[in-house]
Amino acid sequence: MTTRDRVHIHDVQLLSDDWYVLKKTTFSWLRRDGTWQRQSRETYDRGNGATILLYHRARRTVILTRQFRLPAFVNGHDGLLIETPAGLLDHASPEERIRAETEEETGYRIGAVERIFEAFMSPGSVTEKLHFFTAEYEPAQQLGAGGGNAAEGEDIETLELLLEDALTMIRRGEIQDGKTIMLLQYAALHLLAPCPEPTREHAVPV
């Protein structure tokens, strides 16, 4: 039996189609004990997106952004979130979109990108699936000031931080954006992991 066999959709009600699409769906779910349970859930559909961590291997630095986020502000944060560059796909491929978003937000024109994983960021209510990328950068690749699209209300600051400083900012609560934390931790584990201390057996004689 597939998951589709366990879901019966009864009704879909459109609640809002302003900024994005909010729907209320009434359905029945076949539970593991064999009984059907009727439920209703609201889903917010804003499309899928992509995000990227730019890193410089030799300097152990990363490029992040800072911008105002109203939902965080109304939940008690000052609203200025430090994040990795990101954007909705808008019918483009994830690779195409993340290159365009990176240049628009940070001014960096990057080449090859590496897709590392995909994740649903808030599956209890938001349909969005996010494609995660990394790419190496060089200072000479910053061809513009970035800042985002002013017509869409974006006012984005570009930050270059040492990876160690960014990880410390997570622990201090200065970086609270989920996708950014995931990518910084990925970098610490796989991209910019510190070199291990030489063991006694492999130590270079002096």
pLDDT tens track for 168-206? 999 999 999 999 999 999 999 999 877 555 554 544 443
Residues 100 and 68 in one domain: yes
pLDDT digits 0-9 by tens, 84-125: 999 999 999 999 999 999 999 999 999 999 999 999 999 999
pTM of this prediction? Answer: 0.90
Question: What is the pLDDT, as a whole number, of residue 79?
Answer: 95
In this structure, are 86 and 131 located in the same domain? yes
Query: HSE of 63 in the Cβ direction (CA atoms, 13 Å)?
Result: 28
Domain total in the chain? 2
Least Cα distance to 21 among 139, 114, 118, 127 occurs for: 127
Whether residues 33 and 77 share a domain: the answer is: no
Residues 10 and 55 in one domain: no
Indicate whether 39 and 53 sit together in one domain. Answer: no
pLDDT in tens, 21-66: 999 999 999 999 999 999 999 999 999 999 999 999 999 999 999 9
SS3 99: helix
- What is the pLDDT, as a whole number, of residue 98? 97
Is a pLDDT exceeding 70 seen at residue 153?
A: yes
> How does strand 157-162 pair with strand 80-83?
unpaired
CA distance 166 to 147: 20
User: What's the pLDDT score for residue 196?
Assistant: 56
Q: Are residues 17 and 96 in the same domain?
A: no
- Same domain membership, residue 87 and residue 26: no
DSSP 8-state code for residue 198:
P
- Using CA atoms, how far residue 60 sits from 105, 191, 202, in Å, is 21, 9, 25
pLDDT at 157: 96
Assess contact for 83 and 67: CB atoms under 8 A: yes
The two most distant CA atoms of the chain are separated, in Å, by: 76
Q: Please report the pLDDT score of residue 94 as a whole number.
A: 97
Domain of residue 25, residue span: 3-45
The answer to whether residue 62 sits within a structural domain is: yes
Which of 55, 146, 131 lies closest to 98, judged by CA? Answer: 131
The two structure tokens encoding residue 98:
């993340």
Return the axis-axis angle of helices 163-171 and 178-186, rounded to nearest 10°.
130
pLDDT at 136: 97
